Amino acid sequence: MTIQNPAIAEWRMLIDGELVPSSSGAVFDNINPATDEVIGVTADGTPEDFDRAIAAARRAFDQTDWPRDHALRARCIRQLKDALVRHAEIIRPLLVAEVGTPIWLTRDTLFDVPVEKLEHYAHLAETYRFDDELEDVDFRGFVSRRRIRYEPVGVVAGIIPWNGPWGSGLGKIGPALASGSTIILKPSPDAPWMGTIVGKLIKEETDIPAGVVNIVTASDNFAGVVLTTDPRVDMIAFTGSAPNGRKVAEAASGTLKRMLLELGGKSAFIVLRSADVAEQAALAAKTICANAGQGCVARSRLLLPRESYEAGIAAAKAQMDAISVGDPQDPQNFMGPLNSRHHRARVLNYIERALADGNRLVRGGKVPESKPTGSFIEPTLFADVKPDDTIAQEEIFGPVLAVIPYDTEEEALQIANNSIYGLSAQVAAGTNEEAYEFAKKLRTGTVSINNGTWMHMDVPFGGFKQSGIGRQYGRQGFEAYLEIKVLGIPSGAESRTLKWGEIERKADTESVSA
């Protein structure tokens, strides 16, 4: 793809209110995974660039009124939202070009939904009760009023992945700004323009003060170490794989930073006997191909009752056979490529491991012969997968569905919960009540019942077990960016000095009386 509007396809970083190149002058290529073409370059930030960004964020938080000006924060968030809406049709093909996601998804969770979520955070900046009160307390004969203040956490480092950069990026910028915090956002080198485009719009079309938002791009992973270990950073908001989340947690523990970790998943799609097994199996096969399976909530394990097992596999295969794979800019194509050649190699390696484990390859499993260019892979279906096999336990992050049979619902529940992850799940049954009763027993953060959706701006999204720490989005996700301060105030008009001797004498008197 040739970039049509280089003015929007910004390559510079936003540091302390200015769009700047790397201090080294270096850039790295942004590659279209559908064509292998270089669509542009991005500034390759250095440790010095990150140091300047952290210093700017620290100064903006400590030395300006940003943390206390609620009206300014709400206005700035809405300005950013409005700018993104104005430029949406220019941004949309750039998102497709750097991520490889099909363009139809940009009108859903990959762009339009996260942009709309900014209004939710603007509303919270205006209406959240940042100053609240508790009941008065009588402590040793002295009555005090008590207040709770919810204050911004400080300087936030946001580290985001390539598979859904706009959702992850705006999902960190929004609550950080609404809370009164400042932020350094580090996009993935495999999808850097999400950050640089936002930086350009912040600079040119909003009143966000210098240093409040800093966006630094880099091709090297050193950035994560810098951000997670620097004592000037108060909080890490990370979205990525569980192995990388463990590294972030370990590095951040040295300064006991607040951490919000949204990590991986190995979600199960459980079809109970009372459901239409063929219909639900086909749905599972289709949804694993959305964004080429590159989603943390992707239902990559399909659990089918044994008596309907082969019928379900046949329906899943028929659905995958019908999936249109090709140019993600073409709205007729349901699935585009994987994000990069190196990620495709990782997915192909998992397919080889599945074959070595004796899993039955029903379809797919290779690069399409008609698409030697780009990072395409065929929708892939494996059957006869055992619950402890590699492809049933590890996050593949590709269009690979593992079908597992079960004999009883108790066994289905055990298989579904047999994972280090607990991010999401889907349950299908003949009635909503039956599916709901089963869903209550799942150890996951979100569950879709009979194709119902939980996704909206008010949802606290996150998972159990090694799928993360804390929740993103919604009121609870916003509160992750707040510190709690409790104040005790004398209830009378004038303060009173209470000497320790008075407390001791009063305590002695109460003890004798008792």
Residue 184 parent element (H or E)? strand 182-186
* Residue 154 DSSP class: -
Residue 438 parent element (H or E)? helix 432-439
Do 117 and 80 form a contact (C-beta atoms < 8 A)?
Answer: no
Would you state the torsion angle of the CA atoms of residues 391, 347, 196, 171, taken in this order, to the nearest 10 degrees?
-10
Residue from 98, 262, 378, 395 carrying the catalytic annotation: 262
Q: Is 262 a catalytic residue?
A: yes
Do 317 and 285 form a contact (C-beta atoms < 8 A)?
Answer: yes
Do 103 and 328 form a contact (C-beta atoms < 8 A)?
Answer: yes
Alpha carbon 114 to its chain's center: 11
Amino acid type, 190: D
User: Can you tell me the distance from the alpha carbon of 315 to that of 428, in angstroms, rounded to the nearest whole number?
Assistant: 15
**What strands lie across the sheet with 182-186, from one edge to the other?**
18-20, 13-15, 213-215, 182-186, 155-159, 235-239, 258-262, 468-469
Which CA distances in Å does 296 have to 24, 265, 358? Answer: 35, 5, 26
Place of tokens 């260019």: 373
Q: Is 296 a catalytic residue?
A: yes
Amino acid type, 47: P
Residue from 10, 98, 296, 395 carrying the catalytic annotation: 296
Q: What is residue 115's three-state secondary structure?
A: helix
- Which positions ≥6 away from 100 have C-beta within 8 Å? 32, 33, 34, 292, 328, 336, 337, 338, 339, 374, 375
User: Can you tell me the distance from the alpha carbon of 94 to that of 112, in angstroms, rounded to the nearest whole number?
Assistant: 14
Compute the C-alpha angle 406/357/421, nearest 5°.
60
User: Can you tell me the distance from the alpha carbon of 216 to that of 50, in angstroms, rounded to the nearest whole number?
Assistant: 7
Alpha carbon 343 to its chain's center: 19
Q: What is residue 29's three-state secondary structure?
A: strand
User: Can you tell me the distance from the alpha carbon of 381 to that of 317, in angstroms, rounded to the nearest whole number?
Assistant: 7
Do 380 and 398 form a contact (C-beta atoms < 8 A)?
Answer: yes
- Judged on CB neighbours under 10 Å (0-12, 13-18, 19+), 17 is middle
Q: Catalytic site residues?
A: 262, 296
